[in-house]
Every structure is written in structure tokens, then in C-alpha cells.
Amino acid sequence: MRILVIEDDRATADYIAKGLQEDGQVVDVARDGKDGMFLAMNEPFDVIVTDRMLPGANGLSIIRALRASGIATPVLVLTALGEVDKRVEGLEAGADDYLGKPFAFAELRARIRALARRPAGPPAEQTELVHGDIRMDLLHRTATRGPRKLDLLPTEWRLLEYMLRHPGQVLTRTMLLEKVWDFSFDPTTNVVDVHVSRLRRKLEAPGEAPAIRTVRGAGYALEAAARDAAG
């Protein structure tokens, strides 16, 4: 995977680049908005990570320029602590995800992976999500694991749908809170864990293989092993 990192702070840029390279990614770093814009417009990348405030051209104007030229590369915007509530503005400019600084590297990695593997078509066109023996019919709103019908509450449905759209990837609590519940904050109580464990109980009947894996210190992932069960 080839990733462009546009970040003017040298320490942060090096930290992100080093982490992603250790992950086996190819990373290009631009240190100002002008270079970033040039690279983003002229080279193919799988994901672009850009700071919001940049010398030269700011992150949002880079995104607008990309989208105006028909380049749909997923973009993740990083923002300073003081801009917690600028999320909507960023998403409206055409950013695909938004992460406030300072962040845990695991969080950034999880979000980059989720962006890189987004399905090419718009989600609305998909009528069925399948992962291993877990199957979700979006038209009839039915979910099954193998022959067994899953009886899901609305929240559990949304949670499973989101996980099925990102099979095998680590999804952090923050990502789940944002995408499933629209919570842009971290509640004091363990909302995510409670719902995941309920979904897990419904997915994993006695004798069935584990479906949701807990990634310690990071989040949850739909078990890749589930695919093996289906062959």
C-alpha cells in the first residue's frame, strides 16, 4: 500500500512514516501544502494522510482540489487539539475520516486500513454483505450465521454491518463509537464493550467458531478465521 503523509511537523511526520513503514507500507512524506498538493495530484496513492493546518495550502483545500479533479483517493485529516469540533467541516470538504491530535498510533493504523479497503462502489449498491458463514441481507434486513438466523437489535445490526464492511480489520472503540453510534466523544461507561459482547453472544452459539476477536489495547476485529469455516 502506498501512503502519502502531508505533515509540517517533522517529528510527527517521521513518527507516522516510521510506524507505517514498519507495517510494510510505502510512505511518501510532504512537509508543506504545496508539495503535498503536487504529489497528491500527480502520483497514485492508496491513502492520503494530511494535517489540517499546513504552510502553503491547508489540508481542506488540498482535498477540495483533489475532489475537483476527480481523484477519489481516501483522505484522512489530522487536526490539532483545539479543533475538536471541526469534524463536520472536514467531512464536508470531502475528507473520508478525521482524527484529532494527539492520537495513538494504533488508532491511526486502524483508520488507514479501514480507508484503504473501502469497497470501490458506493455502499448503497450493495445488497448483501458476506464474511465466512456470516451473511447479511440488506434488502430484507435478515442476518444469518450458517443455517442459523440471527435475531439482532437495531444497534447490533448497525455494529455487525459496519464490521462486515471491514472484515478482518481492527476497529477501535473510537471508530465504532463514531460510525455506529455517532458519538464524537468517549463515554465514561463501556458502551462499546457491552454491545460488542452482546453481538458476540448472538454470533457465537455453542460449538461455533469465534466470530469477533478482541485486540488488546486497540479494539475489535471480525475474525478472519470465520472465512475458513465457510471454505
Partner 1 sequence: MIRHSFALRTALSAAGLVLVLSLLGAGWVWRQGEAELRAQLDFTLAAEAEALVREAETLGLAGLVEQARSFGRRGSPLLVALQTVDGAPIAGGLAGASPSLLRGFATLRAEGGRGPLRALGALLPTGVNLIVASDLAPVERAAARLAWAPVGAAGLAVAAGLALGFAGARRLESRLANAGEAARGIMDGDLARRLPANPRGDEFDRLAATINLMLARIEALMAAQRQVTENIAHDLRTPLSRLRLRLEAALAAPRSPPADAATMEAALAELDQVLATFRALLRIARADSGAGRAEFQPFDLSALVAGVAEAYGPVAEDAGRQLAAMIAPGLVLSGDAALLRQSLANLLDNALLHGGPHIALRLSAGPVLEVTDDGPGIPAAERQAVQGRFHRLEASRNTPGTGLGLALVAATARLHGGALDILDGPGGQGVTLRLDLRARAG
Separation CA 84–CA 184 (nearest Å): 9
Least distance CB 31 / partner 1 (angstroms):
25
Separation CA 194–CA 153 (nearest Å): 13
| Local structure of residue 1 (DSSP, 8 states) | -
**Cell (9 digits) for 165:** 464492511
Q: Of the listed pieces 82-90, 117-125, 130-138, 143-151, which binds partner 1 according to CB under 8 A?
A: 82-90
47 beta partners:
3
Separation CA 216–CA 136 (nearest Å): 27
| Identity of the residue, 151 or 182, whose beta carbon is nearer to partner 1 in the bound complex | 182
10 Å Cβ neighbour count for 186?
A: 10
Residues in the chain, overall count: 231
Q: Of the listed pieces 24-32, 41-49, 149-157, 163-171, which binds partner 1 according to CB under 8 A?
A: 149-157
| Contact map string, positions 84 to 113, toward partner 1, x by CB under 8 A | xx--x-----------x-x-----------
Please answer whether residues 170 and 221 qualify as being in contact, where contact means their C-beta atoms are separated by less than 8 angstroms.
yes
Select from 12, 144, 155, 214 the one that contacts partner 1 (CB under 8 A): 155
Rule CB under 8 A: say whether 183 interacts with partner 1.
Answer: yes
Least distance CB 219 / partner 1 (angstroms):
15
Task: Decide the pairing of beta strands 97-100 and 2-6.
Answer: unpaired
Size of the site for partner 1 (CB under 8 A): 24
Please answer whether residues 47 and 76 qualify as being in contact, where contact means their C-beta atoms are separated by less than 8 angstroms.
yes
Q: Of the listed pieces 22-30, 70-78, 111-119, 183-191, which binds partner 1 according to CB under 8 A?
A: 183-191
Least distance CB 196 / partner 1 (angstroms):
10
Rule CB under 8 A: say whether 154 interacts with partner 1.
Answer: yes
Select from 72, 190, 210, 225 the one that contacts partner 1 (CB under 8 A): 190
Least distance CB 146 / partner 1 (angstroms):
25
Could you tell me the CA-to-CA distances from 64 to 8, 58, 116 in Å, in that order?
Answer: 19, 10, 19
Least distance CB 182 / partner 1 (angstroms):
7
Please answer whether residues 167 and 131 qualify as being in contact, where contact means their C-beta atoms are separated by less than 8 angstroms.
yes
Least distance CB 176 / partner 1 (angstroms):
11
Separation CA 123–CA 94 (nearest Å): 16
User: Using CB under 8 A as the criterion, which residues of the chain lie in contact with partner 1 when the complex forms?
Assistant: 81-82, 84-85, 88, 100, 102, 153-155, 181-191, 194-195, 198
